[in-house]
Amino acid sequence: MEKMYFDHAATSPIHPEVIEVIYEAMKNHYGNASSIHNFGRDSRRIVDNARMVFAKSIGAKPGEIIITSGGTESDNTAIIETALKRQPDGKHIITSAVEHHAVLKPMEYLEKLGFEVTYLPVNKRGQVDPMMVEEALRPDTILVSIMYANNEVGTVMDIAKIGAIIEESESTAYFHTDAVQAYGTQKIDVKRDHIDLLSISGHKINGPKGIGFLYVHEDIFLPSFMLGGEQEKKHRAGTEDIPAIAGLQKAVEIMQPQREERQVKYVELRMQLIELLTQADVTFEVNGNSDKQLANVVSLWFKGVPAEQLLMSLDLGGIAVSAGSACTAGSIEPSHVLLAMYGEKSPIIAETIRISFGLGTTSEQISYLAEQVIKISSRLKR
Ligand code: PLP
């Protein structure tokens, strides 16, 4: 049985060329980048080169990049360090109801410390209305954190508009965006969109896990979240993971020139999947599905079909997809994203699966997936 992976939004396979770079770096470049000898300088060069590539990929300067352990650390640092540093200016923060938990949990933590957080709602397509950001801004707002693209339904937010609204307002709020899911397919430009802080993770773009970066505008100094050595110009303590950094650089170099071509392929695969399902006798709807959408994330509501059962039956046949709900410690937790979009009474919450594709996904795989989904969902329909 051929196994098929349709969960690239959860994590993506490492590109074979990235594996080679990691292996080479592990074998040959083990010096500590802070050491002044030859071995250390060799590692330092790798970090400096990678920083240049990361910066260029989002229209930033190398000095504006802090290398981190990934999306969670980048989000936590951006939010918590901004709040702690800026509390003399105010204690109000704006975010959305559909952020990743790497953003929502720090917000809850800050609320316990006495900060006030406004959670903006989204419409049925999962989008934050930029005008709501404008209305929510207050003289004491110190941070706005709105994700670039949503990981569950693939909605791309109007980041350019939100950035322009904050820039043109009298507010001094920093603008942070979690671009973890968007980086692989969207052309990000932090200067064009007036972004002050931006989070990236390696494992969503066929790079290694446990590595990523945080862009911090050059006029902002964020104290280090990790306390210890003076790495990353005192922004992030801890000995640099040279193989992971070199691997992420390679993943970015592979991704950049292919971005548009991949986007075209994903649009085709998405259309193929939706067409095959439409032709069959299944009742389904595509959640989100706005005109601004990550093509490779398809959130599908199969009416009357329990998502967990569909997911498990597909898994038995070697097909990996994700449910709209997350299983935590044995209990099923409804997705906060779908709840925010449709309300808690909606059957969509328990009947949604997420299909996400990427490196290695073929048209033949999509045909097989559609065939299996149609067969199993007809059997499971209540
Ligand atoms: N933000 C978003 C939107 C994500 O999808 C993820 C990963 O699922 C994260 C943050 C966390 O990133 P990491 O796994 O690198 O910590």
For ligand 1, atom 5: residue with the closest CA? 151
Residue type, 348: I
For ligand 1, atom 9: residue with the closest CA? 71
CA of 180 to the centre of ligand 1 (A): 6
Cβ atoms within 10 Å of 291's Cβ, excluding its own: 6
For residue 333, the model assigns a pLDDT of 80
Pick the atom of ligand 1 nearest to 10's CA: 8
Please tell me if the CB atom of residue 201 comes closer than 6 angstroms to any atom of ligand 1: yes
For residue 291, the model assigns a pLDDT of 79
Task: Judge whether residue 382 has pLDDT over 90.
Answer: no
CA distances to 59, 95, 135, 235, 352 from 166, rounded to whole Å, are 19, 13, 11, 25, 35
Residue type, 98: V
Helix 16-28 with 242-279: angle, nearest 10 deg = 170
Cα distance between residue 174 and residue 162, in whole Å? 12
Nearest by Cα to 22 from 185, 199, 209, 213: 209
For residue 104, the model assigns a pLDDT of 98
Please tell me if the CB atom of residue 96 comes closer than 6 angstroms to any atom of ligand 1: no
CA of 17 to the centre of ligand 1 (A): 23
CB 298 within 8 A of CB 273: yes
Cα distance between residue 47 and residue 149, in whole Å? 28
CA of 71 to the centre of ligand 1 (A): 5
For the question of residue 371 being annotated catalytic, the response is no
Cα distance between residue 2 and residue 357, in whole Å? 16
CA of 277 to the centre of ligand 1 (A): 30
Write out pLDDT tens, residues 76-125.
999 999 999 999 999 999 999 999 999 999 999 999 999 999 999 999 99
Read off the pLDDT band of 327 (50, 70, 90).
very low
Task: Judge whether residue 67 has pLDDT over 70.
Answer: yes
CA distances to 24, 230, 241, 272, 308 from 368, rounded to whole Å, are 37, 52, 40, 11, 20
For residue 330, the model assigns a pLDDT of 47
In which residue are the tokens 């074998």 written? 27
Please tell me if the CB atom of residue 126 comes closer than 6 angstroms to any atom of ligand 1: no
Token pair for 355: 């299909």
Q: CB neighbours of 254 closer than 8 A, spacing ≥ 6?
A: 15, 17, 18, 206
| E-assigned strand segments in 227-310 | 284-287, 297-302
Please tell me if the CB atom of residue 154 comes closer than 6 angstroms to any atom of ligand 1: no
Please tell me if the CB atom of residue 212 comes closer than 6 angstroms to any atom of ligand 1: yes
Q: Which of 12, 69, 204 to mutate to test the pocket of ligand 1 (most atoms within 8 A of CB)?
A: 204
Nearest by Cα to 100 from 146, 163, 137: 146
**CATH (one of 2.50.20.10, 3.90.1150.10, 3.40.50.970, 2.130.10.30) for 4-12+258-381:** 3.90.1150.10
Write out pLDDT tens, residues 277-286.
999 989 999 9
CA of 201 to the centre of ligand 1 (A): 7
Same fold for the domain at 4-12+258-381 and the one at 16-253?
A: no
Cα distance between residue 334 and residue 313, in whole Å? 20
Write out pLDDT tens, residues 233-255.
888 999 999 999 999 999 999 99
Q: Which of 100, 159, 198, 205 to mutate to test the pocket of ligand 1 (most atoms within 8 A of CB)?
A: 100
Pick the atom of ligand 1 nearest to 150's CA: 3
Write out pLDDT tens, residues 82-92.
999 999 999 99
For ligand 1, atom 4: residue with the closest CA? 180
For residue 328, the model assigns a pLDDT of 45
Q: φ, ψ for residue 176 (rounded to 5)?
A: -110, 140
Assigned architecture for domain 16-253: 3-Layer(aba) Sandwich (3.40)
Please tell me if the CB atom of residue 208 comes closer than 6 angstroms to any atom of ligand 1: no
Q: φ, ψ for residue 38 (rounded to 5)?
A: -50, -45
For residue 375, the model assigns a pLDDT of 96
For ligand 1, atom 10: residue with the closest CA? 71
In the chain, what are the domain boundaries?
4-12+258-381, 16-253
Cα distance between residue 148 and residue 203, in whole Å? 17
CA of 37 to the centre of ligand 1 (A): 36
CA distances to 127, 206, 259 from 292, rounded to whole Å, are 9, 23, 16
For residue 46, the model assigns a pLDDT of 98
Please tell me if the CB atom of residue 207 comes closer than 6 angstroms to any atom of ligand 1: no
Write out pLDDT tens, residues 288-317.
977 789 999 999 999 999 999 999 999 999
For residue 332, the model assigns a pLDDT of 60
Q: CB neighbours of 265 closer than 8 A, spacing ≥ 6?
A: none
CA of 153 to the centre of ligand 1 (A): 14
CB 31 within 8 A of CB 43: yes
Please tell me if the CB atom of residue 64 comes closer than 6 angstroms to any atom of ligand 1: no
**The total number of residues written for the chain in this structure:** 382
Cβ atoms within 10 Å of 221's Cβ, excluding its own: 11
Residue type, 310: L
The mean of the pLDDT values for the chain is 95
> DSSP code of 4?
E
Nearest by Cα to 104 from 378, 292, 271, 335: 335
Cα distance between residue 300 and residue 6, in whole Å? 13
Task: Judge whether residue 223 has pLDDT over 80.
Answer: yes
CA distances to 43, 83, 132, 326, 340 from 109, rounded to whole Å, are 36, 11, 24, 21, 21
Which run of H or E residues covers position 378? helix 363-380
Instruction: Pick the catalytic residue from 267, 316, 327, 332.
Output: 327
CA of 141 to the centre of ligand 1 (A): 25
Cα distance between residue 321 and residue 376, in whole Å? 14
